[in-house]
Amino acid sequence: MTDYGWRFTMTYQFTPPGQDYSHYASGRVFYGAPGQATLPVRLMSEIFLRCLAIRQKQGLNEPVTIYDPVCGTAYHLVVCAWLHWPHISAIIGSDIDADVLSFAARNLGLLTAVGLNNRIAEIEALQTNYGKVAHAEALQSAARLQQQLQQNLAHHPIATHLFPANALRPDELQQKLTGQSIDLVIADVPYGRRANWQGVTTDTTDPLWRLLDSLLAVLSPHTLVAIAANKSQMCNHDQYTRWGKFQVGKRCVFLLQPGHGKV
C-alpha cells in the first residue's frame, strides 16, 4: 500500500475551540468508574472526524462500525455516538476486565430510550435523597440528551455489542468477532499513568505491537485504526500503512491501516 506520510499533523483540525461539552462529562449522565482514564470529548471527536475524512478520500461514505478492543467504560464511544450519530451504525467494545465492562454496558445502554430513562430515574433519586447542585445539573443535561436521543433514533438505532477478551490474543478476538465487519478501530491504550496492560505474559514483545498484530486477525484492508498512546510509545508494525499522527497534550494519536507500509 502507499505510504501517505504524516498528514493531518495539526493538533486540532476538525473540532474548533470554545465548544461546550459539559453535558457529556463523565460522571454527570454518562457513567464513570474509579481509576479509569478517559479520552477527552474534543479529542475523541477529532479522532473520529479525521478517520471519517480519510474514509471519504477512499470513497467510503456509509455509516461505520467502531470497535475498541480496550474499551474500559466505553464512555468515549458513547460520547462519539452522541456527537456523530448519523455516521455510526454499530459500536463494539471488549476489555479484559469484566468488572469495568459492567460500566460499559450501562453507558452503551444510554444509546436507547430505556437506558437513558433508567439513568434519569437514578439521578432523580439522588437529587431527592441528597439535593446536591451536581444532581440538578445532571438532570438538566439528561433532559437535553433525552431530546437529542429522540432526534438521533429518528435516523437509526445504533447496534451495540460487548464481550470480555484479552486483546493481545488474536484467537479470542476471532472467536468473538467472526463474521463482523469492522470499519474503524479507536483505542486509548494503557500507558502506565492510570492504566496498565493486563493479560501480558512473560513474552517481552511490546504490548502495543502485540495489539496491532492481534487486530490483523479481524480487520479488513479498509479498516482504519486510530491508536492513542503516550509520546514514548510508537506504533511500530510493518503490516500497517501509516496515514498520519498528531499530538494533544501527553497523548499521541496514530492513524493506521492494514497493509504493507513503513510505520
Range of the structural domain that residue 125 is part of = 112-157
Do 123 and 117 form a contact (C-beta atoms < 8 A)?
A: no
Does residue 4 lie within any of the structural domains? no
Share of the chain above pLDDT 90, in %: 75
E-only strand ranges, the chain: 64-68, 88-95, 159-164, 184-188, 224-230, 240-248, 251-258
CA 179 to the chain's CA centroid: 21
Does residue 168 lie within any of the structural domains? yes
- pLDDT 10s digits, 218-249: 999 999 999 999 877 778 899 999 998 998 98
- pLDDT 10s digits, 171-194: 999 999 988 999 999 999 986 444
Do 102 and 177 belong together in one domain?
yes
Do 104 and 119 belong together in one domain?
no
Does residue 1 lie within any of the structural domains? no
Neighbours of 109 (CB within 10 A): 16
For the chain, what is the domain count?
2
Do 145 and 68 form a contact (C-beta atoms < 8 A)?
A: no
Q: Residue 197 pLDDT > 80, yes or no?
A: no
Do 92 and 183 belong together in one domain?
yes
Does residue 9 lie within any of the structural domains? no
Look at residues 157, 192, 216 and tell me which one is the last residue of a structural domain. Answer: 157
Do 71 and 37 belong together in one domain?
yes
Inter-CA distances, 5 with 134, 261, 263, Å: 46, 10, 9
> What integer pLDDT is reported at residue 262 of this predicted model?
43
Q: Read off the CATH number of the domain in which 103 is found.
A: 3.40.50.150
Do 191 and 166 belong together in one domain?
yes
Do 59 and 136 belong together in one domain?
no
pLDDT band at residue 163 using 50, 70 and 90 as cut-offs = very high
> What integer pLDDT is reported at residue 260 of this predicted model?
61
Do 247 and 168 belong together in one domain?
yes
Average pLDDT over residues 198-203: 60
> What integer pLDDT is reported at residue 191 of this predicted model?
67
Alpha carbons 155 and 7: distance in angstroms, whole number = 32
pLDDT band at residue 36 using 50, 70 and 90 as cut-offs = confident
Do 126 and 212 belong together in one domain?
no
Strand, helix or coil for residue 245:
strand
Does residue 224 lie within any of the structural domains? yes
Does residue 3 lie within any of the structural domains? no
> What integer pLDDT is reported at residue 195 of this predicted model?
47
Look at residues 157, 185, 217 and tell me which one is the last residue of a structural domain. Answer: 157
> pTM score > 0.85 for this model?
yes
> What integer pLDDT is reported at residue 190 of this predicted model?
83
Do 91 and 129 belong together in one domain?
no
Does residue 13 lie within any of the structural domains? no
pLDDT band at residue 205 using 50, 70 and 90 as cut-offs = confident
Look at residues 157, 190, 214 and tell me which one is the last residue of a structural domain. Answer: 157
Do 33 and 62 belong together in one domain?
yes
Do 188 and 241 belong together in one domain?
yes
Average pLDDT over residues 47-71: 96
Do 232 and 247 belong together in one domain?
yes
DSSP-derived secondary structure letter, 206: -
pLDDT band at residue 162 using 50, 70 and 90 as cut-offs = very high
Strand, helix or coil for residue 157:
coil
Residue 254 β-bridge partners: 227, 245
Does residue 7 lie within any of the structural domains? no
Do 51 and 246 form a contact (C-beta atoms < 8 A)?
A: no
